[in-house]
Amino acid sequence: MSASTDRVLSTLDKNLDASLKRLFELVSIPSISTDPAFAKDCRKAAEWLVKDLETIGFTASVRDTKGHPMVVAHHPGPDGNAPHALFYGHYDVQPVDPLDLWENDPFQPAVRDAGGGRKIITGRGSADDKGQLMTFVEACRAYKQVNGSLPCEITILFEGEEESGSPSLKPFLEANAEELKADFALVCDTGMWDAETPAISTGLRGLVGEEITVKAADRDLHSGLYGGAAANPIHILTRVLADMHDADGRVTIPGFYDGVDETPPDILKMWEGLSGRPESFLADIGLSIPSGEKGRSVLELTWARPTAEINGINGGYTGKGFKTVIPAEASAKVSFRLVHRQDPKKIREAFRAFVRERIPADCSVSFQEHGSSPAIQLSYDSPVLKTAKAALDAEWPNKAVMIAMGGSIPIVGDFQSFLGMESLLVGFGLPDDRVHSPNEKYELSSFHKGQRSWARILAALAEARAAGRLPG
List the CATH number of the domain containing 441.
3.40.630.10
Does the pLDDT at position 247 exceed 90?
yes
The per-residue pLDDT for range 289-328, each reduced to its tens digit, is 888 999 998 899 999 999 999 999 999 989 999 999 999 9
Residues 429, 345 within the same domain: no
Residues 248, 142 within the same domain: no
Which among 326, 346, 373 is the end of a domain?
373
In a domain, 300, yes or no: no
At residue 436, the pLDDT reads 93
Choose among 174, 200, 26, 213: nearest CA to 108. 26
| Percent residues over pLDDT 90 in the chain | 86
Counting Cα atoms < 13 Å in the Cβ hemisphere of 36 gives 1
Question: 388 or 376: which carries more pLDDT confidence?
Answer: 388
Listed in sequence order, the DSSP H helices in 30-161 are: 39-56, 130-147
In a domain, 286, yes or no: no
Q: How far is CA 346 from CA 156, 187, 213, in A?
A: 35, 29, 20
Task: State the pTM of this model.
Answer: 0.85
In a domain, 19, yes or no: yes
Does the pLDDT at position 215 exceed 80?
yes
pLDDT class of 370 with cuts at 50, 70, 90: very high
Does the pLDDT at position 109 exceed 90?
yes
pLDDT class of 409 with cuts at 50, 70, 90: confident
Choose among 38, 34, 214, 114: nearest CA to 442. 114
Cα 418 from Cα 289, distance rounded (Å) = 41
**Counted domains in the chain:** 2
Residues 367, 382 within the same domain: no
In a domain, 276, yes or no: no
Residues 102, 171 within the same domain: yes
Asked if residue 129 has a cis previous peptide bond (ω within 30° of 0), the answer is: yes
Domain hosting residue 136, numbered range? 3-204+376-466
At residue 246, the pLDDT reads 97
CB 430 within 8 A of CB 192: yes
SS3 content of the chain, % helix, strand, coil (to 5): 40, 25, 40
Which among 358, 373, 388 is the end of a domain?
373
Residues 361, 454 within the same domain: no
* Gyration radius (Cα) of the chain, Å: 25
In a domain, 334, yes or no: yes
What average pLDDT does the segment 5-18 reach? 98
**Tell me, what CATH number does 361's domain have?**
3.30.70.360
pLDDT class of 412 with cuts at 50, 70, 90: confident
In a domain, 348, yes or no: yes
